[in-house]
Amino acid sequence: MSELYSVLVESVAGGEVVLRVTTVHPDAGPPPDTASFTVEILLDLWSLLDRGFGGLVDGCSLERAEAQRLARDPAWAARCQQLRELGFGRQVECTPEEYAALEAAMMEGGPMLFRGEPVGGLLGYGKQSYVFIPGDPAVFATAVAPLIAAHGVDQHEFDESYEDWPDDPDRRPRARVWVRVHDPQWLGFVRPGWRWDSAAH
């Protein structure tokens, strides 16, 4: 998936995270002024760390194991994992019989349900089969809402570039995106100066 935004952490203090979000894809549009969007881009960071991909985060010098240790801290790991699955979907192991039944349903054009949930795809690694359960934006937004004290998008720059996309990356549109959470602890994996790309929308 094409990256839509470049995200820079400007500050983290007292439960408030301030980000500078630059639009890097001409079709992306301005950053949405929703708590869900802001949490999505922060979960992109958490996911990179969780997979040991600190090298994809500019300004992060953590080695693979260090990045994973940070992401998997009990103070935030479970909440981030749950939110990530609600927003982005999850892989679930299935039996060969379940996989075959779903494959048959797909070939017949019928509904694909796995234990009552809609299936977005079938996967297999070696001898193990999986189903992909897609995320649900409405459920994700409902889960995010009670965590957020306030959020906003302001300080827009170069908005005219949406009409005439610039070759100069320094002239691409950007805005300040900020969020304040009720429990500062669960954003303890975020560090000022880190930058990463996101396909959140």
pTM, two decimal places: 0.88
Phi, psi of 128 (to 5 degrees): -100, 135
CA distance 198 to 57: 11
Residue-level pLDDT, tens digit, the chain, 201 residues: 479 999 999 999 989 999 999 999 999 999 999 999 999 999 999 999 999 999 999 999 999 999 999 999 999 999 999 999 999 999 999 999 999 999 898 898 888 899 888 999 998 887 889 999 999 999 999 999 999 999 999 999 999 999 999 999 999 999 999 999 999 999 999 999 999 999 988
Q: CB of 133 within 8 A of CB of 120? A: yes
CA distance 113 to 134: 12
